[in-house]
Amino acid sequence: MNRRRSSTPRPSRMTPASSRGKGGGKLRIIGGKFRRRLLPVPEHPGLRPTPDRVRETLFNWLALELGGRRVLDLFAGTGALGLEALSRGAQDALFVEGNAKVANTLRTNLLTLDAPGQVVTRDALALLNDSPQPFDIVFLDPPFRQGLAGNACGLLERLGWLNDEAWIYVETEAALPLESPTTWKLHREVMAGESHGRLYRRVASPP
């Protein structure tokens, strides 16, 4: 596949989709059946929903790939990516979030939307070392500067969490060089502020 690069304006990574207020902010769903719904976001250090314009770019790339798919949202945080996927036709989603307060807000938001998702309050890397179940689409957006992305990519590939032609979106700090598994082919990438988003397609066997 062709390697393409896309640029977007540089919105803040630290601010949810609408303005922040005391006790948190709001996350806006930008497309699909839940479009324009505003959901609460708790105040928590480092919580950084993927900006609207980056999400819009990503889901334009995935527009024909979401219907009926199983989604894994690792290091889910606000769940912005998994919720957007459910809004646009994904069959179900598993959200993995280590902070109990953030995970509980995500559970409440799923109930509010009546969306088919499950939230697990657990360390993402620990979960990946458990009995795997294959997913069609994985969103991987770990906290920056903690060296988590490379380990998570390796576990996803080695332990059987990916279907043969799965899509994997990885968001890291812009300065981080990411070595992806040989079975992953870079499809598109986007830069926004201090973040670097990469969308990969998994192939059944390396070249």
Interatomic CA distance for residues 107 and 159, integer angstroms: 27
Would you state the pLDDT for residue 144?
Answer: 87
Identify residue 43 by its one-letter amino acid code.
E
pLDDT at 115 over 60: yes
Name the more confident of 206 and 181.
181
If one compares 6 and 102, the residue with the highest pLDDT of the two is 102
pLDDT above 90 (res 201): yes
What is the per-residue pLDDT for 67? Answer: 96
Number of residues in the chain = 207
CA 17 → CA 49, 118, 194, distances in Å?
8, 23, 17
What pLDDT is attached to residue 71? 98
Question: Mean pLDDT for the chain?
Answer: 87
**pLDDT score of 24:** 65
Q: Degrees (nearest 5) of the Cα angle 204, 1, 5?
A: 125
pLDDT of 187 strictly over 60? yes
pLDDT on residue 97: 96
What distance, in Å, lies between the first and last C-alpha atoms of the chain?
13
pLDDT at 136: 98
Number of helices followed by number of strands (H, E) in the chain = 5, 10
Instruction: Name the nearest CA neighbour of 71 among 135, 116, 118, 117.
Output: 135
pLDDT at position 52: 83
What is this structure's pTM?
0.86
Q: What is the pLDDT of residue 64?
A: 94
Is residue 104 pLDDT above 70, yes or no?
A: yes
Q: What number is the average pLDDT over the span 53-71?
A: 95
In which band, very low, low, confident or very high, does the pLDDT at 131 lie, cut at 50, 70 and 90?
A: confident
Q: At what angle do helices 80-87 and 52-61 cross, to 10 degrees?
A: 50
